[in-house]
Structure 1
Amino acid sequence: MADDNHGRLIDVELDESIGRTTPDIEHERNVAIFDLIEENRFDPIGAPNGGKFKLKLSIVDKRLVFDIRSENEEQLVTHILSLTPFRKVIKDYFMICDSYYEAIRTSTPQQIEAIDMGRRGIHNDGSETLRERLAGKIEVDKDTARRLFTLICALQRRA
């Protein structure tokens, strides 16, 4: 949990234009949002220490938009990140997630575990790329970056 010196997200919204997708992906989105709100560290540079923030994530013109507001809906800052640095890791993540979902239905526990280890490794790579891209804009810890990366992937994924 955030302490008095660290900010935290109290609400996360995904842009409605992304629409609905498969049950597996919807579940992944919902779990990531729930986990993110339950425990996170989110410190926009220049915002008050210990602040509570609302985040709306969207994709506009192939760019990732972080619309950050205070808990009383005051617009604080909008950060726009190119998705280019994420393209390969997101593509790899989607491929291994598809393999994982298929393996759950047809493979042995050892095969599923091996695929899941690869999936977690790619997920870690993506979350580290996100932390690097947010440097100087928003400070997040590793777990928060992982959950945010899941949501970024969910914004990119279509049924």
Structure 2
Amino acid sequence: MKKIFYILTTLLLFLTLSCTSATPTLTKEQYREYTTRVINSDYKTVFKSVLSVLQDQKYIIQNSDFNNGLINAERESKLNDSLVDVIEKRRSNMKASFLLSEKEPKKTNVRVTLQESKKGYYTNFSYNVIDVVNIQKKEVYDNIFNEINKEIEMNK
């Protein structure tokens, strides 16, 4: 009887650990470090470059405000991460929000927030949100800032 108890306890522990989130939660300071950069270019050039990069990455610009430095964009795509996503026709909605501010005449502070909404297809021909998460992978933000810097260099 004890042997069965230990086996069941071990299985339960294994299942519990395998279901926990693999992405660590970042502190506010770590998240801000990932999502903020000072770019060595004037505000107008950076603003236009961000818009261009978003369009290159198939985002639809929802709104932009040059005076306040705000850009919001969105794109939808198929998840196809797993067989369940394919069978249930799940989709993902990515939102990007940029806040730009001029630090000095040739330096612009850029902060970006990326959020993913996973949606599931339902019988009434619509998608309902299943899960919403802020992207916390440093590589994703590094890639965006690298693309912005490349766009600025191309436009010089």
Shorter chain as denominator, the TM-score bin is 0.3 to 0.5
* Greater share of residues in strand: 2
Higher RCO (C-alpha 8 Å, min separation 6): 1
* Greater share of residues in helix: 1
TM value normalised by structure 1: 0.33
TM value normalised by structure 2: 0.34
Greater radius of gyration (CA) = 2
